[in-house]
Amino acid sequence: MKADYYEVLQVTRTATDQEIKTSYRKLAMQFHPDRNPGDKSAEDKFKECSEAYGILSDPQKRAAYDRYGHAGFGGAASQGGGFPGGFGGFGGDPQDLGDIFGDIFGEMFGGGGGGRRQSRAQRGRDLKYDLTMEFEEAVFGKEQEIKIRRQETCDDCGGTGSANGKQPVTCAQCRGAGQVRYQQGFFSVARPCPKCEGSGVNVTDPCQTCRGESRVSREHTINVKVPAGVEDGTRIRYQGEGEAGKLGGPAGDLYVELRVKAHKFFQRDGDDLHCVVPVSFPQAALGDELEIETLEGVAVLKVPEGTQSGKSFRIKGKGVPHLNSHGKGDLIVEVRVQTPAKLTKKQKELLKELSETMKTDNAPQSHSFMDRMKEMFS
């Protein structure tokens, strides 16, 4: 008993034409004899899938199959080597099948396009340039000229590759298609033409400057504008500043990737800056006003009395400018109380006198449940 065609292609009866085509393409790649040499079951499955697709890809045949099943085709299933509709053993639209197998073999063998004619002009390659900059330059922005070496259109031949203004001639091997076909198992596979390298044309009288390549290598200067607020790894795209295309094709793009050096004092978190400032015990205990160096000069930070080591303070608007927007981030200052490593005799006496006036419970402190929860999520 013949299997249901919908079950063979692993689709529902309400599947669209595209869903049927996609499922068939996947199964054909899986069971193709070239991928399963000597596997009779895979070959039979491949033929079964092709037979099912030959029916379900044709609107009229699919309608007849939906109404009458296999009986609606009588002996048709035995024609053409076991596949409905003939066409070398496959049903359905020949052009449609050609597109499918062109896609399949494009993936299997590195070809592409199912043998379709390629454009003679070829797009130029994209280029990448790493620009290293100081931390402050990334914060405030900068302009800098960079030099890159790239392939540019030859001025002497105007990008044709031919001398004296002669136009290239159609490639005799691929007849302008840019591809040639090779036999792969049951099917022919399209690959780029080795004579014209996929362009479809040959230069018979090459330009002496570019030697028929249509492009020459030159050094080019570009003014890079880095906006304020960029981060390490930011990429700036300059459209059309890559290599020129071959035979008049469009130019590629230039990508400038920014490498920002670390700062010796500040650390960046988004558009906020963080720093650590040491304070003495008297400053933390009695309070004080500190002058803090920022990227834009000096700011005053008021430290209240009784400040504990590790306390953070926020200075508004002293961070990094928002990229392509208004406003700035903040500066987060963490104060840390420093214990002096060396004391004079007088200092020791004063601290001892102070210590006698203060009593501290040195027993281990237990944290409440809420304290532990805050620590967990902080």
pLDDT, mean of each 10-residue run, the chain (378 residues): 88 88 88 83 89 88 82 50 38 46 47 45 89 95 95 87 79 83 70 81 86 89 95 93 86 94 94 94 92 92 93 95 92 93 90 82 62 61
CATH for the stretch 127-260: 2.10.230.10
Let me know if 53 is exposed, middle or buried by CB neighbors in 10 A (0-12, 13-18, 19+): buried
The token pair at 276 is 């650590």
**pLDDT value of residue 59:** 84
pLDDT at 376 (0 to 100): 57
CA dist 69 → 22, 55, 60, 270 (Å): 23, 11, 13, 64
49 has binding-site annotation: no
Provide the CATH topology of domain 267-377: HSP40/DNAj peptide-binding domain (2.60.260)
| Residue 251 to residue 214: CA distance in whole angstroms | 13
User: Architecture of domain 5-110 in CATH?
Assistant: Orthogonal Bundle (1.10)
Q: Is the distance from CB of 331 to CB of 273 less than 8 angstroms?
A: yes
pLDDT of res. 123: 87
193 is known to lie in a ligand binding site: yes
Each domain of the chain, given as residue ranges in start order, spans 5-110, 127-260, 267-377
Token pair of 228, please? Answer: 């304020």
State the pTM of this model: 0.57
| Res 320: pLDDT | 95
β-pairing, 254-260 vs 127-133, is parallel
pLDDT at 340: 86
Q: 275 a known binding residue?
A: no
Q: Is 196 one of the annotated binding-site residues? A: yes
Backbone angles phi, psi at 368, to 5 degrees: -70, 165
Helix axes 17-31, 94-109, angle to 10 degrees: 50
In a 10 Å sphere around its CB, with 0-12 CB exposed, 13-18 middle and 19+ buried, how is residue 264 labelled?
exposed
